[in-house]
Homo-oligomer: A and B are copies of this chain.
């Protein structure tokens, strides 16, 4: 199928066209790039919700339940079109897998209003984040108004992926160790909502307490800090103006297995969207995301152009001189890049 046909198919709701295009986009083919460009003007409508947490927190079941909830008509309106993107940036060496995937498939696969995509990404941090961003853009253009981006763990990769999202939900569970403040140093800062899942298990109070402690560390109340578009409140200060509204991350309890707490979580996600739109943060995040993507593309395009202009063996010869310590890294670069400039 030609790309313009695939694109028309996607816009008309054809799931097969969508799946095929996602494969092209994920593999970074020319067809995928051209589809992304054609679809771009249809993007920007979806609410991107990142859900991240260590394995064992029941994160996949939670995402599952959220999707089911959004598929019911509610007082807030008709059912939403929901896409789930499951990304596992765990090292290919230890071999990560989204375990909840099969269960989810069985549960939701009959519903035409839900689209599920697992990304078996490998490779560099930047590569994973940019592939995820591209996949999410296609789903956005395809009319899914809620895209749930699920990642495993709390490393730098998860932080990068979570930054794609408008709303980031960090999932914890009782009994997974209590050095949360150390582990989650990076992730706490980007959390808009904190969920203690498996809240029917013993230890839930101490997990919530640990989260509250970590939250106060990463969101010090002593000063007003603007961070990823979030503003903190100083106790005793005058109330902020509308464009200074404050989002304090909430801690919620859920039991994904029986659905306890899911409506409250969905409501909090909706409230966060309202907050983002009321304060201009929604637009700010979009702009930040687009600029980051542009900058990364500029970089990779420049490097590709540079490589294509190298003569055979040129890079290898300079590398050899570097290995022999005849050239320093900076001198090696000067030789390669200066040669490049003059040859253009």
Interface residues of A (CB under 8 A from B): 33, 36-38, 40-41, 43-44, 54-56, 90-91, 93-94, 96, 125, 153, 155-157, 176-179, 182-183, 185-186, 188-189, 217-218, 225, 227, 286-287, 290-291, 293-294, 297-299, 301-303, 305-306, 318-319, 322-323, 325-333, 336-337, 341, 344
Contact = CB atoms under 8 A, between A and B. Distances in A.
Nearest to A55: B182
Nearest to A334: B301
A179 B176 contact: yes
A141 to B, nearest CB: 11
Given A293-B329, A294-B329, A328-B36, A156 B155 contact: yes
A125 B298 contact: no
**What are the 10 tightest A-B residue pairs by CB atom distance, in nearest-first order?**
A177-B177, A156-B156, A40-B328, A37-B328, A302-B302, A297-B333, A177-B179, A344-B344, A41-B325, A293-B329
29 contacts: A33-B330, A36-B328, A36-B329, A40-B325, A40-B327, A41-B328, A44-B325, A54-B179, A56-B179, A91-B185, A91-B186, A93-B218, A93-B227, A94-B185, A125-B125, A176-B182, A286-B323, A287-B323, A290-B319, A293-B329, A294-B318, A294-B322, A294-B333, A298-B303, A298-B333, A301-B333, A301-B337, A302-B302, A344-B344
Given A298-B337, A305-B341, A189 B332 contact: no
Contacts of A293: 329
Nearest to A179: B177
Contacts of A319: 290-291, 294
Given A319-B291, A330-B36, A331-B37, A186 B155 contact: yes
A306 to B, nearest CB: 6
Contacts of A91: 185-186, 189
Given A153-B182, A291-B319, A344-B341, A299 B298 contact: no
A341 B340 CA distance: 12
B185 A323 contact: no
Contact of A290 (B218, B225, B322): B322
A186 B182 CA distance: 16
A40 B318 CA distance: 15
A325 B218 contact: no
Contacts of A318: 294
Q: Most B CB atoms within 10 A — which of A186, A217, A303?
A: A186
A332 B185 contact: no
Given A178-B177, A294-B333, A302-B303, A155 B155 contact: yes
B182 A54 contact: yes
